[in-house]
Structure formats: structure tokens, C-alpha cells
Amino acid sequence: MNEQLARLAHLTASAAQRLHVRSALNPGLWLCGIATPMCFLAAYNFRDDSAIRNWLLIGGFLPVAVVCVVFIGFAIFKPDKLQSEDYQLRHESLTLILQKGGKVPIDPASIQAIANPIRALGVCRT
């Protein structure tokens, strides 16, 4: 059992290192990724005691259901919050530039750097 928990912890840590997109759903997804497997493993360990097992199964499914409801709420009422943090910052910068219009001279290279920072740095991702 300890080997399974160690393997699960290693998989979780490696997934966390690869995670780069940050949106309003990230805390809920972390909750699902941590609480759900723990509840299911605990429910498996308490498989002989039906009351505890059932509560742990409910506790495992509850975060997933809540995140689904929150996702639908964001998709309907605030879809921009589902975008990455980087996208939101670039969008706000470009909107601010658009609002200022012709009042302040803006270097076209800076607009390109905001719109596409990877290409502006000369880094090509494949």
C-alpha cells in the first residue's frame, strides 16, 4: 500500500511541475487531484465498514461534481476566467492600448511583444 501511495505522490509531483496554465479552475482541479484519489484509496481500505466507505466515496465524488458545476457557471457567466492567466494579462494590455488609441505613441514592436511574447523573444516552440 505504501508503494502505491509513493507512486501516486510521484505522479502528482511530476504533473504539478508540468502544469503551466493557470485559470480560475486550478484550485478546484487541485482539490480533485488530491482529495479524490485519497478518498477512493481510503474507501478501498475501509471496504468492510459500509458506513465509512460510503462517506469516503461521496467525499471522493463531491469535488468532481463541484468543479463540474463551477466550470459550467464560469462557461456561462465569465468565460474569460477560463483562459490562462498569461492570456488574460496580454488581453488586458492590448485592450488598454486600444483604449488609449492615438493619444500616446506606441511602438509597434511592443504591441507585437505583448501579442506574441514567444516569437518576440526569438524562441520557437514546436
Domain coverage including residue 41: 2-82
- What pLDDT is attached to residue 114? 62
Clarify whether residues 111 and 64 are in a common domain.
no
Residue 60's pLDDT band, with cuts at 50, 70 and 90, is very high
Name residue, grid cell 488530491.
34
Contact 25, 79 (CB under 8 A): no
62 against 81, higher pLDDT: 62
Clarify whether residues 93 and 112 are in a common domain.
yes
**Which pTM does this prediction carry?**
0.58
Clarify whether residues 47 and 62 are in a common domain.
yes
Clarify whether residues 27 and 57 are in a common domain.
yes
Clarify whether residues 28 and 59 are in a common domain.
yes
Grid cell in block for residue 125: 516552440
- Mean local confidence (pLDDT), 45-67: 93
Q: Is residue 125, in this structure, part of any structural domain at all? A: no
The number of folded domains in the chain is 2
Name residue, grid cell 483562459.
83
Give yes or no for residue 53 having a pLDDT over 90.
yes
Grid cell in block for residue 100: 488609449
Q: Which of 16-30, 46-60, 67-81 has the lowest mean pLDDT?
A: 16-30
Q: Is residue 31, in this structure, part of any structural domain at all? A: yes
